[in-house]
A = this chain, B = another copy of it.
Amino acid sequence: MAIITLITDFGLKDGNAAVMKGVILQIAPAVQIVDVSHLIQPQNILEAAMILFRSAMYFPVNTVHTIVVDPGVGTNRRPIAARIGTQYFVCPDNGILSLVIDSAKTEGVAMEFYKLEIPRFWLPQISHVFHGRDIFAPVAAHIANGQNILSMGSAIQDVIRFSFPDPKRTENGWQGEVIYIDHFGNIILNINEQHIGENEIIATKLNGYEIFGQEKTFGNQDEGKLIVLYGSTKNLIIAKVNGDAAKVIQCTIGSLVEITVR
């Protein structure tokens, strides 16, 4: 049974993700549909790119990831389909795939991209405002049915990518920044295990707070304490034991972080 995942900024009330599911199930009745997130901040392509990257790798071979965060809907931005490694991606060409592509490059994984331009894989009528329903859902369903993406449009090389901020080496460690704040209020940094390597983290400074040392997990310190540890994707995170670190520290996406190592 093929799998289609959905990432959108549609929210959970209006029924628009369900409209996409109805369209998918008309074309691919046996597909399994998994909601990854419909709570991407409206029009926030960067956030969608991160949530896609964190989740896609855990899905089976041939999963079709469908991402609709699409401020340019109905303009001349291109709808695309991609095969990256063993998985498929269907989305507007607006940078949403940047992190997946970066990682595939690093790992030497094969990639193909196609501009979607063959209307027989779409709904009969194409609105100017809801390509999730009219183009991306039916295309994802046809791919799940085994349709080759080669047949859906012309190959392209120049998909849009944006660069995520890299941390900088400093005299005593690293300067990075906050890239995401999760549901628990954990603060996720762009500094990961590969940057720190064998070094030991001495101190982490963010927004006037200084946190000493590094923990292995949440529950080894007293409730309420601010701690620094590796999160589930090996990025460093700042957390509050059984609490909400972001509420305490009051940082935002892009806030600078200084880490001292030895």
A contact residues vs B (CB 8 Å cutoff): 1, 3, 5, 7, 9-16, 18-19, 21-23, 25-26, 29-30, 32-40, 42-43, 51, 54-55, 58-60, 63, 71-75, 77, 127-130, 133, 182-184, 216-220, 229-232, 242, 244
Give which listed residue, B37, B38, B72, contacts A14 with CB less than 8 A. Answer: B37
Choose among B18, B40, B217 the residue that contacts A73 (Cβ–Cβ < 8 A).
B217
Q: How many identical chains are in the complex? A: 3
Does A55 contact B15, Cβ atoms closer than 8 Å? yes
Contact B218 A73 (CB under 8 A): yes
How many angstroms between the C-alpha atoms of A93 and B34 in the bound complex?
A: 28
Contact B129 A15 (CB under 8 A): no
A14-B51, A14-B182, A60-B29 known; A128 vs B229 contact (CB < 8 Å): yes
7 tightest CB-CB pairs across the interface, nearest first?
Answer: A74-B217, A11-B183, A22-B58, A130-B232, A13-B39, A22-B59, A128-B217
**Knowing A74-B217, A217-B74, A242-B71 touch, does A37 contact B18 (C-beta < 8 A)?**
yes
Can you list 15 A-B contacts with CB-CB less than 8 angstroms, sorted by A residue number? A5-B18, A9-B184, A11-B182, A15-B37, A19-B54, A22-B60, A23-B58, A58-B133, A71-B218, A72-B219, A74-B216, A74-B219, A75-B219, A75-B220, A77-B219
Question: Within the assembled complex, what's the spacing in Å between the Cα atoms of A74 and B133?
Answer: 38
What chain B residues lie within 8 Å of A19 (beta carbons)? 54-55, 58
Q: A18-B5, A39-B12 are in contact. Are A129 and B58 (CB under 8 A)?
A: no
On whether the beta carbons of B34 and A21 are closer than 8 Å, the reply is: yes
CA distance A3 to B229 in the complex (A): 35
Q: How far is the CA of A73 from the CA of B215 in the complex (A)?
A: 13
List of B residues within 8 angstroms of A73 by Cβ:
217-219
Q: Which residues of B contact A38 (CB under 8 A)?
A: 12
Closest to A234 in B: B127
Cβ contact within 8 Å between B229 and A15: no
Contact A25 B59 (CB under 8 A): yes
Query: CA of A45 to CA of B232 in the docked complex: distance in angstroms?
Result: 21
Given the interface pairs A19-B54, A55-B15, the reply to whether A232 lies near B60 with Cβ below 8 Å is: no
Cβ-defined contact, B18 with A36, below 8 A: yes
Q: From residue A16, how far is it (CB to closest CB) to chain B in Å?
A: 8
**Residues B32 and A25 in contact, CB atoms below 8 Å apart:** yes
The answer to whether B55 and A29 touch across the interface, beta carbons within 8 angstroms, is no
Flag if A59 contacts B26 (CB, 8 Å): yes
Chain B residues near A33 (CB-CB < 8 A): 34
